[in-house]
Chains A and B, each alone.
Chain A
Amino acid sequence: MLEWRRRREPSPAMLYASPLIAVVLTMLIGMIVFTAMGYDGFHAVRDIFLTPFLEPQRWADLGVKAAPLVIIALGLAIGFRANVWNIGAEGQYIMGAIAGTGVALATYDMTGWWILPAMALAGILGGMAWAAIPAFLRVKLQVSEILTSLMLTYVAVQGLYYLVRGPWKDPDGFNFPQTRMFTTDQTLPVMMEGSLVHLGIPVAVIIALVAWLLMEKTTAGYAVKVVGLAPAAARHGGFSADRVTWATLLASGGLAGLAGLFEAAGPFGQLTPQFPTGYGFTAIIVAFLGRLNPLGIVFGGIVLAATYVGGEIAQTTVRLPQAATGMFQALLLFVLLATDVLVRYRIGWKVRAA
């Protein structure tokens, strides 16, 4: 009979193999489920997971979708390593976009190279400010950041709706609920002619490298890991858990805010009620798929980006509903958590005790 056996030590091989196993299992389960529902399951899965990689004209789109996911997930992963569970990146992402848009609207009749950096800075600060609230509540009042950060997301969404329908509504916009379009000085430079590939993509890769160096080679990264692994040892070594809570929440909020601003000043070019696309939530899956490792997160970001790009393809080719994308993402997280059992346990044959 098959049985689970506890491994003496977590398996390093499985630590990296389980995300890959999870992706493959998700494809198999998806295929079965959609076939059972009367769709062409094989083609659906192929279009969602493979076509985005096989057709070069999709690569730009893949990068555009992956960049915000990677930037947000990098910040979240640093916090997760310290047991700081920021679930509200979506809210910080929206606040970053709002703050950056505030700068854009204030400067819409100006020109200058400094405008975009000012917007980016405002985006970072906006995200940080939104993350500072859960940080304060956790450090001062021991309130769980999981709840507060999540609830603040809905506050941010309502704030966005209010602004685009009220004070920030484009005066020349035929009463549509949206802000002015950003000017060229307020828009991310396009890296490739005729595509949406913007500056955010190389920036995401640079941030991943910096995050990796920070975690592996600095006392700051060390502090994050010790606080997460052994809080008492951290205190003994003179590391302050409160400071790490503050730092990781501000970092993840700031990065989410930056990603929000990049999205507003890139693909959107303005703020609209459609702006919250759930990247802040999907980035949680990216962080875990990437094993909370900055370089793994780049991989995880590309896989999740594929589900967005491929989901759109499958909508036209096999008429899959749009909700299928979300289903695949949720399924992936579910299967990933399940396959994680393999890191600590292995499957073996049951031997009867004599």
Chain B
Amino acid sequence: MTQPPDQTVRPRLALSHISKSFPGVKANEDISLSVRPGEIHALLGENGAGKSTLVKIIYGVQQADEGSIAWNGETVAIPSPKAARRLGIGMVFQHFSLFDAMTVIENIALGLDEAVDRDELKARVAAILDSYSLPLDPEREVHTLSVGERQRIEIVRCLLQKPKLLIMDEPTSVLTPQEVDKLFLTLRQIASEGCAILYISHKLHEIKALCEAATILRGGKVVATCDPKIETTKRMAELMIGAELRQIVHGDSSGAGAVRLSVSGLTLAGEPPFGTDLEGVSFEARAGEILGIAGVAGNGQSELLTALSGERPATKADAITLDGKPIGTMSAGPRRALGLACVPEERNGHAAVPDFSLADNSILTARHRLPLTPLGIISTGDVKNFADSVIKRFDVRTTGTAALARSLSGGNLQKFIMGREIGQQPGVLVVCQPTWGVDAGAAAAIRQELVDLAAKGSAVVVISQDLDELLELADRLCVINEGRLSAPRAVAELGIDEIGLMMGGVHGESGHGASGHGASDLGEPAHA
């Protein structure tokens, strides 16, 4: 369905010699690339390689220090997103800006640059939903929608402006395999109508399935261009990181250690207004094992995490026990002191304080287990050393411990947060989306650390939507559905499509055919 792009056509977008610096880093250096109408062009690179910065420049969110942008052959200035939209550039951010309590159509109306009559807008939205066969009810309130449906709102918003270039920054990191398949159908249709697409993702098998050209960035520079249809995913990953990929080494732990974390009949009302209630959640995690919890976002994962972390204590003390000790009613601090560490999915504002330095951010959760604040006095030197050791061990790309958390690229902040928790040697580690937005090389390193932590006798619980990841890591797997947890099953017994259907079925979006995912982010894709 994707014709090889006509080489004679004038490029829709041509960047030449774009550079952009932040204090202490060259985020983009002398980047040139061009995208033709109808082309789906991938932007690949490690965390912090400068992908988001580059597309923000194209969308007018940031300004390049040097270089020029040509649009349909003419040099243009793009001082603001509004100017970008006027040219016909649309962008779907990883974090949606939607109002939960409003309907789909109201959210779309709010995002428009000019006021449009409501009935006319309804008709135009209906036409778009119909011609791209997007399943979405314009009158539903946003909080009742799955992540995939919310993303469709953002896509419809873009399509309303009849874009000639669509930018998508890591659109699939929160989607189920079924939702990814649907997204790809939509994107291919949009491209076939002549719209160029610039696509950022760390999932290389997706790039292979979708894109016909790729530009690979490393350290802010273009290091290679390639045709993803021809190149293997392993080769692309190695081009990105400029080195051989590490293969995860599993120890020969049998997972039959003592029970470290036990949850029995945990029931907790969801946080108003839109939270999911946890209903009778029970599971055990043993020393030396990794327990995976799969599920579509919004089925109680964040509620489960905050119930375990102690942010929202349970009503009964013995609903949660840690090494046999009832901790259900304890708050977050004492639980950490006893050895239970948790990493929530949201990095900015939950796992980390965006306006604090990395040093200050390490105080946030490490002070209970490490002597960082003796007698309530912050020991600046020890804090800095700890933050430094995390940065080194997890290869966090940053200007140092004084850098503000929000100046880090998404993946690098995640590496720092994971390192902060693993660096405390917790007895039990519960993580939500551990490699969310993390590049292939760093994701392998983080997964290896999780495996090693378990091998040393900790219990690890991984809550994730990424089935490839769960299958690679977990010894046992259960699925969370509308606040209920299924009985765990050994991973060896399960097929990926089976779990995918269990997860996807919840929102009435049963998959159509095989989802076509390899067993690993790094392995070869299962389909041609």
- Seen from chain A, the residues whose Cβ lies within 8 Å of a Cβ on chain B are 8, 217-220, 222, 225-226, 229-230, 232-233, 235-238, 240, 351, 353-354
Q: A8-B62, A232-B350, A233-B349 are in contact. Are A219 and B74 (CB under 8 A)?
A: no
Kindly identify which residue among B62, B76, B349 contacts A230, using a CB–CB cutoff of 8 Å.
B349
Q: Which of B289-297, B318-326, B360-368, B507-515 contacts A (4 or more CB under 8 A)?
A: B360-368
Establish whether residues B377 and A218, one from each chain, have CB atoms under 8 Å apart when the complex forms: yes
Q: A233-B352, A235-B332 are in contact. Are A222 and B76 (CB under 8 A)?
A: no
Q: Which residue on B lies nearest to A226, using beta carbons? A: B353
B377: chain A residues within 8 A (beta carbon): 217-219
Instruction: For chain B, residues 342 to 379, give those with C-beta under 8 angstroms from any C-beta of chain A.
Output: 342, 344, 346, 349-356, 360, 363-365, 367-368, 373, 376-378
B317 within 8 A of A: no
Question: Roughly how many angstroms separate A229 CA and B365 CA in the complex, as a whole number?
Answer: 16
Establish whether residues A353 and B349, one from each chain, have CB atoms under 8 Å apart when the complex forms: no
User: How far apart are B86's CB and chain A's nearest CB, in angstroms?
Assistant: 7
Establish whether residues B311 and A353, one from each chain, have CB atoms under 8 Å apart when the complex forms: no
Question: Roughly how many angstroms separate A220 CA and B86 CA in the complex, as a whole number?
Answer: 50
User: How far apart are A165's CB and chain B's nearest CB, in angstroms?
Assistant: 47
User: How far apart are B314's CB and chain A's nearest CB, in angstroms?
Assistant: 15
B399 within 8 A of A: no
Q: Which residue on A lies nearest to B379, using beta carbons? A: A217
Establish whether residues A233 and B350, one from each chain, have CB atoms under 8 Å apart when the complex forms: yes
B208 within 8 A of A: no
Establish whether residues A353 and B83, one from each chain, have CB atoms under 8 Å apart when the complex forms: yes
Establish whether residues B376 and A226, one from each chain, have CB atoms under 8 Å apart when the complex forms: no
Q: A230-B349, A353-B83 are in contact. Are A237 and B378 (CB under 8 A)?
A: no
B331 within 8 A of A: yes
Question: Roughly how many angstroms separate A145 CA and B306 CA in the complex, as a whole number?
Answer: 28
Question: Roughly how many angstroms separate A219 CA and B367 CA in the complex, as a whole number?
Answer: 9
A354: chain B residues within 8 A (beta carbon): 74-77
B336 within 8 A of A: yes
14 contacts between A and B (CB under 8 A): A218-B378, A219-B378, A222-B373, A230-B350, A232-B346, A232-B350, A236-B309, A236-B311, A237-B332, A353-B78, A353-B86, A354-B74, A354-B76, A354-B77
Establish whether residues B77 and A353, one from each chain, have CB atoms under 8 Å apart when the complex forms: yes
A238: chain B residues within 8 A (beta carbon): 310, 331-334, 336, 365, 368
A232: chain B residues within 8 A (beta carbon): 346, 349-350
Establish whether residues A229 and B75, one from each chain, have CB atoms under 8 Å apart when the complex forms: no
User: How far apart are A68's CB and chain B's nearest CB, in angstroms?
Assistant: 29
B74: chain A residues within 8 A (beta carbon): 354
Establish whether residues A233 and B333, one from each chain, have CB atoms under 8 Å apart when the complex forms: no
B interface size (C-beta, 8 A): 40
B339 within 8 A of A: no
Q: Which residue on A lies nearest to B87, using beta carbons? A: A353
Q: Which residue on A lies nearest to B333, using beta carbons? A: A238
User: How far apart are A190's CB and chain B's nearest CB, in angstroms?
Assistant: 36
Given A236-B332, A238-B368, A354-B75, 8 more A-B residue pairs with CB atoms under 8 Å apart are: A217-B378, A222-B363, A229-B356, A230-B350, A230-B355, A236-B344, A238-B310, A354-B76
Establish whether residues B353 and A235, one from each chain, have CB atoms under 8 Å apart when the complex forms: no
Instruction: For chain B, residues 163 to 219, give those with C-beta under 8 angstroms from any C-beta of chain A.
Output: none
A218: chain B residues within 8 A (beta carbon): 373, 376-378
Q: A233-B350, A235-B311 are in contact. Are A219 and B373 (CB under 8 A)?
A: yes
Q: A-facing mask of B110-130, CB < 8 A → 1, else 0? A: 000000000000000000000
B516: chain A residues within 8 A (beta carbon): none
A8: chain B residues within 8 A (beta carbon): 62
Kindly identify which residue among A225, A226, A229, A353 contacts B76, using a CB–CB cutoff of 8 Å.
A353
Establish whether residues B376 and A237, one from each chain, have CB atoms under 8 Å apart when the complex forms: no
Q: A351-B77, A353-B78, A353-B86 are in contact. Are A233 and B376 (CB under 8 A)?
A: no
B488 within 8 A of A: no
A220: chain B residues within 8 A (beta carbon): 376
Question: Roughly how many angstroms separate A20 CA and B77 CA in the complex, as a whole number?
Answer: 36
Establish whether residues A229 and B353, one from each chain, have CB atoms under 8 Å apart when the complex forms: yes
User: How far apart are A222's CB and chain B's nearest CB, in angstroms?
Assistant: 6
Establish whether residues B378 and A222, one from each chain, have CB atoms under 8 Å apart when the complex forms: yes
B79 within 8 A of A: yes
Q: A233-B350, A236-B344 are in contact. Are A222 and B332 (CB under 8 A)?
A: no
Question: Roughly how many angstroms separate A233 CA and B332 CA in the complex, as a whole number?
Answer: 11
Shortest 3 CB-CB contacts between residues of A and residues of B = A238-B333, A238-B332, A237-B364
Question: Roughly how many angstroms separate A217 CA and B364 CA in the complex, as a whole number?
Answer: 14
Question: Roughly how many angstroms separate A218 CA and B309 CA in the complex, as a whole number?
Answer: 24
Q: Which residue on B lies nearest to A232, using beta carbons? A: B350
B79: chain A residues within 8 A (beta carbon): 351, 353
B334: chain A residues within 8 A (beta carbon): 238
Identify the interface centre among B310, B344, B356, B380: most chain A CB within 10 Å of its CB.
B356
A225: chain B residues within 8 A (beta carbon): 356
Q: Which residue on B lies nearest to A6, using beta carbons? A: B80
A229: chain B residues within 8 A (beta carbon): 353-356
B360: chain A residues within 8 A (beta carbon): 222
Question: Roughly how many angstroms separate A238 CA and B310 CA in the complex, as a whole number?
Answer: 8
Question: Roughly how many angstroms separate A345 CA and B373 CA in the complex, as a whole number?
Answer: 37
A237: chain B residues within 8 A (beta carbon): 332-333, 363-365
Q: Which residue on A lies nearest to B86, using beta carbons? A: A353
Question: Roughly how many angstroms separate A8 CA and B342 CA in the complex, as a whole number?
Answer: 32
Question: Roughly how many angstroms separate A222 CA and B367 CA in the complex, as a whole number?
Answer: 12
Q: A-facing mask of B75-104, CB < 8 A → 1, else 0? A: 111110001001000000000000000000
B75: chain A residues within 8 A (beta carbon): 354
Question: Roughly how many angstroms separate A230 CA and B361 CA in the complex, as a whole number?
Answer: 12
Question: Roughly how many angstroms separate A205 CA and B333 CA in the complex, as a whole number?
Answer: 35
Question: Roughly how many angstroms separate A236 CA and B367 CA in the complex, as a whole number?
Answer: 12
Kindly identify which residue among A226, A240, A351, A353 contacts B364, using a CB–CB cutoff of 8 Å.
A226
User: How far apart are A301's CB and chain B's nearest CB, in angstroms?
Assistant: 26
User: How far apart are B107's CB and chain A's nearest CB, in angstroms?
Assistant: 23
B363: chain A residues within 8 A (beta carbon): 219, 222, 237
Question: Roughly how many angstroms separate A214 CA and B346 CA in the complex, as a whole number?
Answer: 30
A351: chain B residues within 8 A (beta carbon): 77, 79
User: How far apart are B381's CB and chain A's nearest CB, in angstroms?
Assistant: 12
A236: chain B residues within 8 A (beta carbon): 309, 311, 332, 342, 344, 350-351, 364-365
B332: chain A residues within 8 A (beta carbon): 235-238
User: How far apart are B88's CB and chain A's nearest CB, in angstroms?
Assistant: 13
Identify the interface centre among A218, A235, A237: most chain B CB within 10 Å of its CB.
A237
Question: Roughly how many angstroms separate A225 CA and B354 CA in the complex, as a whole number?
Answer: 12
Identify the interface centre among A217, A220, A225, A236: most chain B CB within 10 Å of its CB.
A236
Question: Roughly how many angstroms separate A227 CA and B46 CA in the complex, as a whole number?
Answer: 33
Q: A218-B377, A238-B336 are in contact. Are A230 and B354 (CB under 8 A)?
A: yes
Question: Roughly how many angstroms separate A351 CA and B333 CA in the complex, as a whole number?
Answer: 52
Q: Which residue on B lies nearest to A10, using beta carbons? A: B355
A240: chain B residues within 8 A (beta carbon): 331
Q: A218-B377, A219-B376 are in contact. Are A233 and B76 (CB under 8 A)?
A: no
Question: Roughly how many angstroms separate A99 CA and B355 CA in the complex, as a whole number?
Answer: 41
A226: chain B residues within 8 A (beta carbon): 353, 356, 364
Question: Roughly how many angstroms separate A165 CA and B377 CA in the complex, as a whole number?
Answer: 49
B62: chain A residues within 8 A (beta carbon): 8
Question: Roughly how many angstroms separate A226 CA and B349 CA in the complex, as a whole number?
Answer: 10
Question: Roughly how many angstroms separate A116 CA and B311 CA in the complex, as a whole number?
Answer: 45
User: How far apart are A229's CB and chain B's nearest CB, in angstroms?
Assistant: 5
